[in-house]
């Protein structure tokens, strides 16, 4: 239907009269799906299953290390000579030597393990030296 303005149809009329083909609808749906995925993975925070497993594993390792460090600090403070040992620990220069001191003392060795956990020993040394 033509309007009074020079034989042109209005946008609303063109919209009502539009009948897309099946291929146009299929391509529109496909492009919408692709655009949704691009936005979701780029800005929406979506991750793949492999990435989520890696993140969960890393978070678990960090949490276990923090818990082991707290246990180490408690074991260190519960020792009879903890004040003298703390002075020795603070006298050492560098976190590497402090970590070795904690490992050698056995405070960072968790029950059931045969050796100290590095993350636990580092966290324990940093907490005690602070």
The model's confidence at residue 2, banded by pLDDT at 50, 70 and 90, is: very low
Q: How far, in Å, CA of 122 to CA of 1, rounded?
A: 80
The per-residue pLDDT for range 66-121, each reduced to its tens digit, is: 999 999 999 999 999 999 999 999 999 888 999 999 999 999 998 888 888 888 99
Label residue 71 exposed, middle or buried (CB < 10 Å: 0-12, 13-18, 19+): middle
For the chain, the domains span: 11-42, 58-129
Task: Tokens for 4, please give them.
Answer: 């009074």
């Amino acid at each position: 239907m033509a309007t009074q303005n020079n034989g042109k149809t209005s946008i609303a009329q063109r919209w009502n009269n539009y009948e897309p083909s099946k291929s146009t609808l299929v391509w529109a749906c496909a492009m919408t799906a692709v655009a949704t995925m691009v936005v979701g993975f780029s800005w929406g925070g979506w991750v793949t299953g492999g990435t989520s497993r890696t993140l969960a594993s890393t978070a678990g390792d960090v949490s276990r290390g923090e818990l082991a460090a707290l246990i180490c600090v408690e074991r260190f403070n519960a020792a009879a000579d903890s004040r003298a040992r703390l002075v020795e620990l603070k006298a050492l220069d560098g976190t590497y030597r402090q970590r070795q001191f904690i490992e050698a003392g056995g405070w960072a060795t968790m029950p059931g393990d045969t050796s100290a956990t590095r993350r636990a020993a580092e966290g324990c040394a940093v907490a005690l030296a602070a």
